[in-house]
Structure 1
Amino acid sequence: MSTTLPVVLIVDDEIRSLETLRRTLEEAFEVFTAASTDEALAILQNEFIHVVISDQRMPDMTGVAFLKLVRERWPEVARIILSGYADNADIIAAINEAGIYQYLLKPWRPDALLLTVQGAARLATLQRENELLNVELKAGEPWMRSRVAAKRQQASDAFAMHSIVRAANSPLNRICALLTKVAVHDIAVLIEGESGVGKELLARALHYASHRAQRPFVGENCAALPEQLLESVLFGHKRGAFTGAYQDHVGLFQQADGGTIFLDEIGETSPAFQAKLLRVLQEGEIRPVGSSRSLRVDVRVVSATNRTLADLVQQGRFREDLYYRLSPFAVLTPPLRERPEDIPLIALDLLERMRDSFGLPDALFSPATLVCLQNYRWPGNVRQLKNEIQRMLALADAPVLGPELLSPQVLHAGDESQQQELAFLGSVRGDLKERLDQLESQIIRETLTRHRWNKTRAASELGLSRVGLRNKLVRYGLEPKA
């Protein structure tokens, strides 16, 4: 349920350089590193890589020779080479022999590197999509058409709303039902919720439940890129538009034409970028950076934020007109602590996906471990749960994952929670009715605080009408004074 990032492999025999590149790219990409070409080839054999970045001068073979080998075995992977020498012969050899996407000179600039790798990742994705399209166009035989249709259906099923892991009585069921209903209507959707709750997973499911399911779904984390780079990634740019723009770049809006674009962490964007995005949504047109011509695009926008956009509007930090453009339909995704019934199922699903890579194909949780996992509040949501399971697998010496493998805060969460509950109940005074009133007042206050005093959402969670909630607020003296 974490955000799906392009995968980059960096190859460099200098460890310091390797780490610098990794730190520069790791927020926007999933990054693998290799200190030798042999190590890199092993990673390519076992992982789905979009982009390979190689240093030119390495002891076992040159970067050009290595990337030529990559081109022969994995032609769909985009290739970038780094060199400290501006030798025209090297550049020509790199382009001609290894089909290099870009030749970057050292010292490289972080923003130029990010932009280049973003473009390479998009190219790799488009090449894979084109290969599939070519297969479809050549599929004259009925059996081939059936095979292609089956592959498409398999991809659609993998991201379908019913494939989202949750319990039969999960609070997430209501969110999925609402998104399924709105999916058939071509309107923008805003998904709010804490980091790690699976907002991108819901956005993908929305896309595959819509009439745009056979067209691209593309996404970008708006908080991961500087403003100029984000504008280029989304809208594209023309060659020479700025330093480092060595060729035209097709932006995500154009790549998503006919499909869906997912803008994650939209609340982190600057006012200047918000103004440009508003124009795109109003006009249905994009203008690549450095271009004098606008391009028409037909894209459904699904945005997400871990903040409350309405509050940012009140604070003057987010444009009100853009907010209303993005949120004809808005949903709030509940955090993991509000759906404890989902935790065992999600944990089991994550374990099944990860155990083979740790050499423990038969790994399973003990019943006591599942109880501990369910008792913890998971402030980092599914992302934190995944990290905890990875930790357990790394420490395990046997297939059964017992509570002793859990980190201390997770292991003792149940005890602490029970002690806090007993302490709170012991502090409540009065007869049974008075105590129940105090508990109800506390529950209402906590729910309103969590929903930032949005009474519609709080009433919905509590199973009350707005009038019923208002009466209780008056009864318990919780209505804020004007």
Structure 2
Amino acid sequence: MPVPLDRPRVLVVDDEQRSIETIARILDDEFEVVTASSADEGERLLAQDPCQVILCDQRMPGRSGVDFLAGVRQQHPQTLRIIISGYTDADKIIQAINESGIYHYITKPWHPDALILTVRNAARLYQLQQENRLLAQEMRFSSEQFDDYLQRQRSELKQQFHFDRILRGEHSSMNALCDQVAQLAPFDISVLVQGESGTGKELLARAIHYNSARAEQPFVVENCGAMHDELLSSELFGHRKGAFTGAVNDHVGLFEQANGGTIFLDEIGDISPAFQVKLLRVLQEREIRPLGAAQSRKVDVRVVAATNLDLQEEVRVGRFRADLYYRLASVSLQVPPLRDRDGDIVLIANNLLREASQRFNRPVRGFSAEVLHCFSRYHWPGNVRELQNEVQRMLVMSQQEVIGAELLAPHIVREAEQASEEQGESLPETESHGLRSQVEALEAKLIRQALRRHQGNKSQVADELGLSRVGLRNKMDRYGLGEG
């Protein structure tokens, strides 16, 4: 605990009584002064009550002031030590100060104002040291709490973005892709993720990062599309104040922010040929130069890039540099569109509904069978992002526990009808209080598929289809889907 400094305690050690009285009289208005006529007496006083500042004469019988203060340093390292010397040999004084860790020395004859100022500064420094020690202890305690918090957050992120958390069915086209990504994630190589907009390329990039050795370092994202070169260069590489009009402060670029971690460059196929050259140099040299800076800076960043274009075709027609493509595509991944994931659509729709239900505080049991049928037949040009928008819109518009097909967007119904006709199916129609025979056939099919996916676990099947266990049991009995 810091010693209260309303009147800091000062110990004066000198074998000359007149000198002690003079110093005490000068300091008495501002400090609590205690005196000793020898080094031994000074040690006894310090043992009884520590002081903030010690003033000690160099020449004393028995032990010199330097020897005394050297001993004080061992027992009371926080005390500020000042020596008063009449020696004119500067080299000896400097050597003594260095050996004893003395805060300051005063040469004789000294001026009263200079003496007061020196002691006042020493007392203030002592106070700052005590405050700093308490702050350091508090920061150490806070940092331990913060470290624990970070570890919990990192653990949650790793679980959230684990490959097993990517929703997909038993025979999903995503299974092979997830296995491939799980195998390459630990290796520090660049990855190019290709696929249509809304297919979850960023989710895959996060899974790569949080399952790699860089998981505890930053993951930063930049969408490179529709951004002119100067702005994109500033965002990725940073700039210095005054580098261009409007640059009123220094800006740290995302490559530097991601140092040690991963940067995700979305829509990489949209960057200009000129910027392709800049990016290629950064990837080759592993260094950046902020706009307006004179020197480059080394960065250690793993790059995961994504695009909805066919970059190999872009290279073939000359719109994308081949050398940059091969820098980015140590491994190239292709994310399938949602329309090619028939077995996943129902899983994803129900999961999106659960998330939206919690976010908007709108409890519902699920979708009707006709809604799920239309979801499965629609081609989803906007992929998962479009499905999420449709689910949220239907949820906020619904007044029922089970969300019915009357809330479906008309274009989804029309395309589902067309797809069903092309496949020789009849799209189920709804009545005010039930489903017609075609819907029952579809319900039986959906339930049968869900039972296979969940290996007969009725709780999971009921949860997926938005049914209660009793409701699921009644439907299984009606459609002859018994234990056998």
Query: Normalising by structure 2, what TM-score?
Result: 0.57
Residue in 1 aligned with 2:386? Answer: 384
In structure 2, give the amino acid aligned to 1:413: E
1:231 is aligned, of 233, 239, 253, to 233
Q: Measure, in 2, the Cα distance between the counterparts of 1:385 and 1:172.
A: 17
Q: Secondary structure at the match of 2:333?
A: strand
| Structure 1 residue 163, shift from structure 2 partner | 1.4
| Structure 1 residue 400, shift from structure 2 partner | 1.4
1:253 is aligned, of 243, 252, 255, to 255
Give the conservation status (yes or no) of the 8 Å contact 2:364–2:400.
no
Q: Secondary structure at the match of 1:412?
A: helix
| Structure 1 residue 135, shift from structure 2 partner | 13
- The reply to whether residue 197 of structure 1 matches residue 199 of structure 2 is yes
- The reply to whether residue 354 of structure 1 matches residue 356 of structure 2 is yes
Residue in 1 aligned with 2:401? Answer: 399
| CA RMSD after TM alignment | 2.3
| Structure 1 residue 143, shift from structure 2 partner | 8.0
| Structure 1 residue 140, shift from structure 2 partner | 7.7
In structure 1, give the amino acid aligned to 2:339: R
Residue in 2 aligned with 1:155? Answer: 157
Residue in 1 aligned with 2:440? Answer: none
Give the conservation status (yes or no) of the 8 Å contact 1:235–1:288.
yes
Q: Measure, in 1, the Cα distance between the counterparts of 2:142 and 2:241.
A: 39
Indicate the percent of aligned positions where both proteins have the same amino acid.
Answer: 50
| Structure 1 residue 225, shift from structure 2 partner | 2.4
2:315 is aligned, of 313, 316, 328, to 313
| Structure 1 residue 404, shift from structure 2 partner | 0.8
Q: Secondary structure at the match of 1:303?
A: strand
Structure 1 portions without partners, runs of 5+: 1-133, 424-482
| Structure 1 residue 137, shift from structure 2 partner | 7.4
| CA deviations over 1:106-148 (Å, ceiling 9, x no partner) | xxxxxxxxxxxxxxxxxxxxxxxxxxxx999735898875554
| Structure 1 residue 212, shift from structure 2 partner | 0.3
| CA deviations over 1:77-134 (Å, ceiling 9, x no partner) | xxxxxxxxxxxxxxxxxxxxxxxxxxxxxxxxxxxxxxxxxxxxxxxxxxxxxxxxx9
- What are the equivalent positions in structure 2 for 1:6-405 lying under 5 Å apart? 138-139=140-141, 146=148, 148-405=150-407
> Number of aligned pairs?
290
Residue in 1 aligned with 2:416? Answer: 414
| Structure 1 residue 411, shift from structure 2 partner | 2.1
Cα 1:389–1:135, aligned 2, differ >3 Å: closer, same or farther?
farther
Cα 1:411–1:138, aligned 2, differ >3 Å: closer, same or farther?
farther
Q: Measure, in 1, the Cα distance between the counterparts of 2:346 and 2:424.
A: 25
Q: Measure, in 1, the Cα distance between the counterparts of 2:363 and 2:281.
A: 51
Cα 1:348–1:216, aligned 2, differ >3 Å: closer, same or farther?
same
In structure 1, give the amino acid aligned to 2:393: R
Q: Measure, in 2, the Cα distance between the counterparts of 1:354 and 1:150.
A: 25
Cα 1:413–1:237, aligned 2, differ >3 Å: closer, same or farther?
same
Cα 1:412–1:219, aligned 2, differ >3 Å: closer, same or farther?
same
| CA deviations over 1:168-215 (Å, ceiling 9, x no partner) | 221111111111111111110000000000000000000011100000
| CA deviations over 1:59-81 (Å, ceiling 9, x no partner) | xxxxxxxxxxxxxxxxxxxxxxx
| CA deviations over 1:232-254 (Å, ceiling 9, x no partner) | 00000000001110000000000
Q: Measure, in 2, the Cα distance between the counterparts of 1:207 and 1:258.
A: 11
Give the conservation status (yes or no) of the 8 Å contact 2:339–2:378.
yes
| CA deviations over 1:413-453 (Å, ceiling 9, x no partner) | 33211323459xxxxxxxxxxxxxxxxxxxxxxxxxxxxxx
| Structure 1 residue 394, shift from structure 2 partner | 2.7
Cα 1:367–1:421, aligned 2, differ >3 Å: closer, same or farther?
closer
Q: Measure, in 2, the Cα distance between the counterparts of 1:211 and 1:316.
A: 36
| Structure 1 residue 357, shift from structure 2 partner | 4.1
Q: Measure, in 2, the Cα distance between the counterparts of 1:256 and 1:327.
A: 20
Q: Measure, in 1, the Cα distance between the counterparts of 2:351 and 2:137.
A: 33
Q: Measure, in 2, the Cα distance between the counterparts of 1:137 and 1:191.
A: 42
Q: Measure, in 1, the Cα distance between the counterparts of 2:249 and 2:294.
A: 16
- Name which of structure 1's ranges 389-398 and 186-195 shifts more when overlaid on structure 2: 389-398
Structure 2 portions without partners, runs of 5+: 1-135, 426-484
| Structure 1 residue 313, shift from structure 2 partner | 0.7
Q: Secondary structure at the match of 2:303?
A: strand
| Structure 1 residue 375, shift from structure 2 partner | 1.4
Work out which of the two has the higher radius of gyration on C-alpha atoms and give 1 or 2: 2
Q: Measure, in 2, the Cα distance between the counterparts of 1:166 and 1:326.
A: 27
| CA deviations over 1:6-54 (Å, ceiling 9, x no partner) | xxxxxxxxxxxxxxxxxxxxxxxxxxxxxxxxxxxxxxxxxxxxxxxxx
Query: Normalising by structure 1, what TM-score?
Result: 0.57
Q: Measure, in 2, the Cα distance between the counterparts of 1:375 and 1:275.
A: 44
Q: Measure, in 1, the Cα distance between the counterparts of 2:138 and 2:215.
A: 16
Cα 1:299–1:388, aligned 2, differ >3 Å: closer, same or farther?
same
| Structure 1 residue 356, shift from structure 2 partner | 3.6
| Structure 1 residue 381, shift from structure 2 partner | 0.3
| Structure 1 residue 366, shift from structure 2 partner | 1.6
Give the conservation status (yes or no) of the 8 Å contact 1:196–1:382.
yes
Give the conservation status (yes or no) of the 8 Å contact 1:139–1:145.
no
Q: Measure, in 2, the Cα distance between the counterparts of 1:135 and 1:166.
A: 49
Cα 1:145–1:391, aligned 2, differ >3 Å: closer, same or farther?
closer
Q: Measure, in 1, the Cα distance between the counterparts of 2:187 and 2:313.
A: 27
Q: Secondary structure at the match of 1:312?
A: helix
Q: Measure, in 1, the Cα distance between the counterparts of 2:241 and 2:207.
A: 36
